[in-house]
Amino acid sequence: MSEIAFIGVGTMGAPMAALLVKAGHRVRCYSRTATTREAVRDFGGRPADSVLDAVSGADLTITMLPDSPDVRSVALGKEGILAGLAGSAGAAWVDMSTIDPGVARELHQAAAERGIAMLDAPVSGGEIAAKEGTLSVMVGGDASVLTSVRPALDVLSRVVVHVGPAGSGQVAKAANQLIVAGNLALLGEALTFLRRHGADVGRVFEALGQGLAGSTVMERRGASMLAADYTPGFRVELHDKDLRIVQRAAQDNGLSLPVTAVVAQLMAALKARGDGKLDHTALAKLVAELNGADEKSAQEGE
């Protein structure tokens, strides 16, 4: 049993913190929203009034926040994570958010200057995997730090892989997000293509899923795409943010990623037209509409 501070208890963070409580850890949770903080009592978490309150005496601090500025804001400054952990022998900070690799390296450096062990460890799997404890975790930083925090990460994940030095976890997550977005866009195009040809899409997806075209994206998201159910598990606005991270990192390294650029534009268009709160599978909705199709009518015709 250990003392864990969990900062960011939203769609992903709350079920992750709940699993840590279930595993026997004492978990203090902080969120900027009072109602979200209080809700952690439902799964046995203890609400903290501030970041400093959360990290005080913590063996491990975990952050799960939306974007780079959010992580910076809770990490730096007089009342941030690094100030709160300074002088705490053996304390570690694991940032499981998805942020810019350059920012991750900057925060590693800031933590090292204060004698604080840090890992960047973004996750893949979405809300379902967060609830199941089957996330895939990509870890950047010192491998010895990973060894020390591994018992807690194992509670949250199916696989934990050390992928390299500081910032490498975020680089791996960026690659993950471009692959997922591309897969979703092509599944959306396949849906429109099959429906236009009058195919039984459910049966075709069943066949495709057992072949080379099959994927975890199809397995986990295929049914909701067929049903045009875009209840958010991972919102368009967050995937849009992630693809912008990919594009910035590519530009910084002089890379040309043409397919990523097209998919990023599609995701940005979804957000711009007001669909940012929908699940990222709504790429299928956009593709259908670009082809003059009405998804509901198309489903009824299958």
What tens digit of pLDDT does each residue of 111-144 get? 999 999 999 999 999 899 999 999 999 999 999 9
**Annotated catalytic residue, options 22, 131, 173, 277:** 173
pLDDT at 302: 57
Q: 198 and 117: one domain?
A: no
Last residue of a domain, one of 113, 132, 166: 166
Q: What is the DSSP string of 55-102?
A: HTT-SEEEE--SSHHHHHHHHSSTTSHHHHHTT-TT-EEEE-S---HH
Angle (nearest 5°) at CA 291 between 286 and 295: 60
Residue 15, both tokens: 């079920």
H-only helix segments in the chain = 13-22, 34-39, 51-55, 68-75, 81-85, 101-113, 126-132, 143-156, 168-196, 201-209, 216-226, 236-252, 258-270, 283-290, 295-300
**CATH code, domain carrying 123:** 3.40.50.720
Domain of 202 in residue numbering reads as 171-300
Q: 193 and 259: one domain?
A: yes
Last residue of a domain, one of 145, 166, 187: 166
Last residue of a domain, one of 121, 143, 166: 166
Q: Is the dihedral of CA 109, 110, 113, 116 positive or negative?
A: negative
Q: 70 and 219: one domain?
A: no
Cα 5 from Cα 164, distance rounded (Å): 25
Q: 126 and 256: one domain?
A: no
Active site residue 296: no
pLDDT at 300: 53
| Residue 287 near residue 192 (C-beta atoms within 8 A) | yes
Cα 215 from Cα 184, distance rounded (Å): 10
What is the number of residues in the chain? 302
With a cut of 50, which residues of the chain have pLDDT below it?
none
Q: 202 and 160: one domain?
A: no
The total number of structural domains that make up the chain: 2
pLDDT at 94: 98
Residue 130 has φ and ψ, to the nearest 5°, of -65, -40
Q: 37 and 159: one domain?
A: yes
Question: Which residues are CB-contacts of 284 (< 8 A; sequence separation ≥ 6)?
Answer: 184, 187, 188, 191, 192, 225, 228, 295
Q: 193 and 157: one domain?
A: no
pLDDT at 77: 84
Q: 158 and 285: one domain?
A: no
| Residue 121 near residue 143 (C-beta atoms within 8 A) | no
pLDDT at 295: 65
Q: 231 and 113: one domain?
A: no
Q: 39 and 161: one domain?
A: yes
Question: Which residues are CB-contacts of 301 (< 8 A; sequence separation ≥ 6)?
Answer: 195, 198
Q: 119 and 268: one domain?
A: no
What tens digit of pLDDT does each residue of 52-105 get? 999 999 999 999 999 999 999 999 988 999 999 987 778 899 999 999 999 999
